[in-house]
Each structure stands twice: as structure tokens, then as C-alpha cells.
Structure 1
Amino acid sequence: MKFTTTLVSAVLAVSVSAFPVQKRGVDPNLVPQFGIVAGTNPTGTGDCDGVNGIKIPCTCPPDRNSFIQSLSADVAAGHNVNNPTVLSPFPTDGSTASQITRIQTSITALQNLFGPGVGCPASATTFLAQIAALQNAPAGGVDPNLVPQFGVSPGVNPTGTGDCDGINGIKIPCSCPPDRNAFIASLSANVAAGHDIHNPGVAAPFPTDNSKASQITRLQTAISSLQNLNGSGVGCPASSTTFSAQLKALTG
């Protein structure tokens, strides 16, 4: 009996060491959106359009889920797995400094995705524009208090096929609406540029007074920023928010 107890204890010890508990990955809602869609305007030589038309590999940016897994590994290790001299902090609070740090860590994770210096360039995302918008706030960025609330939560009543409930039960992508901080950073970049970065023909005014006209204008700019969040016409529908209802209340 004594031998059996010792044997069982040894087996349990081996089992525990052989199957370590996995650390939890980063919260996907805190990972900045790429803002660029892979494979845009291919040249036929492997290059496609990145931010502001800069040529990038057509495989960039990578699949978001794969990227988040790689980023999570970096953050769990405390440094970039493929480039250990690069630290990988990922604070979770909503401060401007923490938002910037998360984007910076995302950039290094992206650039070292497959090995030291082997990955996707920052120009395969709007990460740098998001950092600039945060660093320039409030001069170049918008006042978060003036950004309308989404009024809808992501991931409500998933169908199992990627769709969830939006306003009045309308089906929307389960990833919509986006993380609010990431949306405000993208909106700020648009306002700073004077137009939607991903759809330059759409102006992005954002008046700051409390008049009804200004509230309407802010909502309209928020809607266009949402709809073009990840590329021209690639984003989240207005039905993933109560923006249209808020407009109706102001114009009705």
C-alpha cells in the first residue's frame, strides 16, 4: 500500500509538470484594430496597399485571431518571443499612456511575428496614426465625452455563425461595436486629418459646442468612422449602435 501511494504521488507530480497551466491571453477588446484589410489593390507582384497607399505584402496584416495569439504569447513571456530584447508590456487600464503602450507592443509583435524583424510593417495598420491621435489629444484628438455612446454591447445572442444581435435584434458581426477606446483613437485620427482616413471623400468634422446642429454633425462623423473603421466601407454597421436613433431624436 505504501508503494502504491508513492507511485500515485509520483504520477501526479509528472502529470502536473507535463501539463502546465496556460496563462490567460490578452483581452481581444484591448488589442487595437489593424484598420487595414489584407489584399487591397494587389499589384500582381505580391504587394498590396497599406496605410496611405504604401505598398505592403499582400499577406499583411495577418489574421487577427492568429495575431492576438502571438501577442498573448509575447505578453505572457514579458518580452517578444521572437526578439527577446524587446519588452512586451500590455497594461489594461484606459489611460492614454496605457493605450499608447498597448499599441506600441502590438507594433513590435507585428514586426517580429515570424522571427526577429520578420513580420508585417507598421504601415500594414493604422497603429501609428492611432498613437499620433492619442499623443495629440485634445488638440488633434476628440474629447471622449463628446463621442456618442454605442448603446449596444458586442457579442449579444451569438448565432454561432459570427452574427450577434444589434439594435432591435438586427444581426451584426459579433465583433461590433468595436472597443470604445480603439474607436475613439480611429475617430480622432479622422478628425485630425479632416476626412475619413480610409474613405478620403468623406469629411470628418467634429464641432465641440452643444448646439443641436453640432451634436448631429458629431453623430454623422461617428457613423462614417464606424462604417469605414477597417477600410473603405469595411467596419461596423450603424445598427451596431443607437447612433441612428440618437440622430432621429435630434432631427425629429
Structure 2
Amino acid sequence: MKFSAALISTALFALTASAAPAVSIETRDVATDVGLFFGFIGGYGVQAGVDNQGGACSTPVAAARIPCSCPPDQGAFIATATANSQAGHVISGNGAGTPVSFAETGNDASDFTQRMFLFRDTMQGIGCPIISTNWARLLPQ
């Protein structure tokens, strides 16, 4: 009796498992998406190291002084934004723990804004103010 119950259970499990649709697991390439979005918004729009005066630089976007290392290397920024997106929060630096995400489609205004907030928060986490880019004009006022 125990043998036939086990056999029936095994047969039912096999039938159930074989009836389940095959699910392909696709992983989203967030790094590529972040890089494409970076290009879509025109990169930083400013150049690091311009007008070095006593360890501070200026930006053509604002009459303020910014660290001369800002904005950071594009590849380093994209890697950091990708890591933050995958973690769901800023993982280091200023604002560590701030929740962030990178909207999957970017097709509507709220997705665009969500992506820009990820970029802003990542930039600030690196230690660069948003005015070290021309992104402030792309954020909701």
C-alpha cells in the first residue's frame, strides 16, 4: 500500500511538473540600459577639471565651484549607477541607503524622472553636486 501511494504521488508530481510551461529566465542588462540612457540625455554636458582655481572648478551651468574631479569618469559613473540600481539603494558615499531604481522602460515621464533621480542620487553619492552636470534642467522643478 505504501509503495503504490508513493508511486501515485511520484506520477502526479511528474505530470504536474511536465504540464508546467517552460519559463525562460532572461536577465535584464541594466548596465547597457544605464549606458544607453546616459547617452540619450547627452552625457554630463560639462567637462571635469575646467578652470581649476585652488582645488575648485567651475561649471558652465552654474556660477558655483565644484570639485575638479566632477563629473566622474563616464565608465565609473555607469558602473556605480548600475550597482546602485541592482542594490535598490545608493550603496556608498553621500546618501548611502537612499532608495533608487532604474525604470525598466523609460517610456513615460515618470520612468524618465525615476531614471534621472537614480543618476542624481548616484552623482551625489560619488560626491559630485548635480550642478557638475547639466541634468538639473532635466529634473522636475
TM-score (norm 2): 0.68
Correspondent of 1:239 among 124, 131, 137: 131
User: Offset at 1:138?
Assistant: 5.0
User: Offset at 1:201?
Assistant: 3.0
Higher Cα Rg, which structure: 2
Show the 5 A alignment for 1:1-252. Answer: 138-143=28-33, 144-147=35-38, 148=41, 149-159=43-53, 161-166=54-59, 167-198=61-92, 199-207=95-103, 208-229=105-126, 235-247=127-139, 251=140
For this pair of structures, how many residues does the alignment match?
Answer: 107
Q: Between the two proteins, what is the percent identity of the paired residues?
A: 35
Q: Deviations over 1:143-178 (max 9, x none)?
A: 11113421111111111x111112223211111000
SS of equivalent to 1:203: coil
User: Offset at 1:142?
Assistant: 4.9
Alpha-carbon spacing, 1:164–1:213, altered in 2? closer, same or farther (3 Å): same
Q: Deviations over 1:101-143 (max 9, x none)?
A: xxxxxxxxxxxxxxxxxxxxxxxxxxxxxxxxxxxx9534351
Alpha-carbon spacing, 1:168–1:181, altered in 2? closer, same or farther (3 Å): same
Runs of at least 5 residues in structure 1 that lack an aligned partner in the other structure? 1-136, 230-234
For residue 219 of structure 1, what is the amino acid of its counterpart? M
The answer as to whether partners of 2:71 and 2:133 remain within 8 angstroms in 1 is yes
Matches of 1:200 and 1:236, distance apart in 2: 14
Matches of 1:200 and 1:169, distance apart in 2: 28
For residue 71 of structure 2, what is the amino acid of its counterpart? P
Alpha-carbon spacing, 1:154–1:200, altered in 2? closer, same or farther (3 Å): closer
User: Offset at 1:200?
Assistant: 4.4
Runs of at least 5 residues in structure 2 that lack an aligned partner in the other structure? 1-26
The answer as to whether partners of 1:154 and 1:175 remain within 8 angstroms in 2 is yes
- 1:52 is matched with none
Matches of 2:109 and 2:51, distance apart in 1: 34
The answer as to whether partners of 1:226 and 1:236 remain within 8 angstroms in 2 is yes
